Structure 1
Amino acid sequence: MQAFPLALMAFVFYLAAASWQALTLLRRVPPRNLLVRGLGGLAVALHLIVSIGLLMADGSLLPGFSTSAVLITGLAGLLLLVLSMFKPVLNIAAALFPFSGLVLLLGTEMPTPASTNGMTPGIALHAASSALAFAVLAIAALQAVLVGIQNKALKHHRIRGVVQALPPLTTMERVLFEMIWVGMGLLTLAIGSGIIFLDDMFAQHLVHKTVLSLLAWLVFATLLICHHRLGWRGMRAVHWTLGGYIVLLLAYFGSKFVLEVLLTAN
């Protein structure tokens, strides 16, 4: 399979969809959700085709650094399109789609070592739940950025431009916490299945990944508990969401980057 031409086509579709949504946010063009979903859907379809090819080349359900990045961003794009049919989250496409396209282009040109883990049902459950958790929480992190922009703008009484194009702040925050709840459930499943089914979950080269994943889980759990008990919202919720996602980012990709890119280069 010639991955790069497909990746380039996907990037063009991603960029077209993101550009229209960005212009919608800036109130330069009218909303065209069907157009954005259509262009985004074509991009995601090509993205997933390339992802499947890279997974087959890796020969494992626990792929390398670049393949994981390509798979996660494609999955995040797909989840966003599906979620946008039920929740007002399509604005996230303005940031997610160009990033996904760039990762796809780079990922097709950066082959990484394949994992030696077998494709057992337990490992498949761990891999799938990990990817889904990371993708859902990535969308939540971008939603948190929009909530932060909206919150600061309203505090300074700036209601034009991007803020005017967004749903009400209460709706934005409700959707944010709904996504965090879903992401937390998937992250719990990923950690639990990893402990049960991965023999080397606490091996030396994975211990930092395990510790960081548990730390991210604690950050999100604290946020959800304090939101329910103490009413945490606004910028505090934004900061905790982004902090938890940064920890999860380090857990998911940090070890892969060090083991497969830095150590391999040396």
Structure 2
Amino acid sequence: MQALSLAFLAFLLYLAAASWQGMVLLRRASPQPLLVRGMALLGLLSHLPLAIGLFGHGAPVLPGLSTSVILISAGVVAVLLLVSLFKPILNAAVGILPVAGLALLLAAGLPSPERVEGLTPGIALHALSSLLAFAVLAIAAVQAVLLGLQNRALRQHHIRGLVQALPPLTTMERVLFELIWGGVGLLTLSILSGFLFLDSMFAQHLAHKTILSLAAWVIFSVLLFSHYRLGWRGMRAVRWTLGGYGVLLVAYFGSKFVLEVLLGRG
């Protein structure tokens, strides 16, 4: 019950922060980055006890769906708050925070998550780089959606509203590719550390994640190469970013959802 209460409090705080930033994008409220970050940080502080409580001591286990959701959603929010201090990405809170809050609320309502135990340094490196890669690329995906909306509005000569609330188009694109570069670097570290420190990246319980993670890495790498060599940008960059992130999303949660939720297997 305490876990569910904390999850609900985090959800409300995340939703409040996202709602204010959404009103800023609609030009119905003045920008208040300290307020948005403050509410999101309070939500994260309500979220963290649930994440920290998942760690213990013993033999290593493969995290299940609820554990993965609680840990990764906390990581995404933390990365968003940190990076927003240096890059103009706070608008991504409109998409990131409600999803993180809802995911946490749903995960807290699932059967009690198992504890993540006995992490060796190598496995911890793999887990941390995987989490950070997912977080950075999640922010990139929301940034891509905002960039797509901005592109469409400019093509239709709608220069008020969302277009005025967002940074200039060139800034939005630059930040998108910076996020993708960072995410691909972390994803590379995740894949390499997995091959080095996990028993078998192509074992039955990891094969789908490995193959789809490699596919996502290829998609993002092609996008970065084509942006550098061929000048890919605009809606093409948006589509490839969302496609790559969709594959990564299935890699991280696809089989867990099917096995644990649809088929009811632990």
Match of 2:262 in 1: 262
Q: Describe how 1:1-266 pairs up with structure 2 within 5 A.
A: 2-56=2-56, 62-111=62-111, 114=114, 118-264=118-264
Conserved 8 A contact 1:58-1:113: no
Secondary structure at the residue paired with 2:23?
A: helix
Structure 1, 208-217 or 44-53: larger mean CA deviation? 44-53
Q: Which runs of no fewer than 5 residues in structure 2 stay unpaired?
A: none
CA distance in 1, matches of 2:58, 2:149: 40
CA distance in 1, matches of 2:165, 2:244: 27
> How far off is 1:61 after superposition?
6.8
CA distance in 1, matches of 2:216, 2:157: 34
Structure 1, 228-237 or 49-58: larger mean CA deviation? 49-58
- The residue type paired with residue 180 of structure 1 is I
CA distance in 2, matches of 1:188, 1:170: 27
After the TM superposition, list the runs of 4 or more consecutive aligned residues in structure 1 that deviate by more than 6 angstroms: none
Conserved 8 A contact 2:56-2:117: no
Equivalenced residue count is 266
Structure 1, 199-208 or 187-196: larger mean CA deviation? 199-208
> How far off is 1:203 after superposition?
1.0
CA distance in 2, matches of 1:7, 1:57: 24
CA distance in 1, matches of 2:69, 2:235: 28
Q: CA RMSD in A?
A: 2.1
Conserved 8 A contact 2:56-2:115: no
Secondary structure at the residue paired with 1:264?
A: coil
- The residue type paired with residue 183 of structure 1 is G
TM-score, normalised to structure 2, is: 0.94
CA distance in 2, matches of 1:151, 1:247: 24
Secondary structure at the residue paired with 1:86?
A: coil
CA distance in 2, matches of 1:230, 1:166: 26
CA distance in 2, matches of 1:24, 1:61: 43
- The residue type paired with residue 260 of structure 1 is E
CA distance in 2, matches of 1:176, 1:66: 29
> How far off is 1:34 after superposition?
0.7
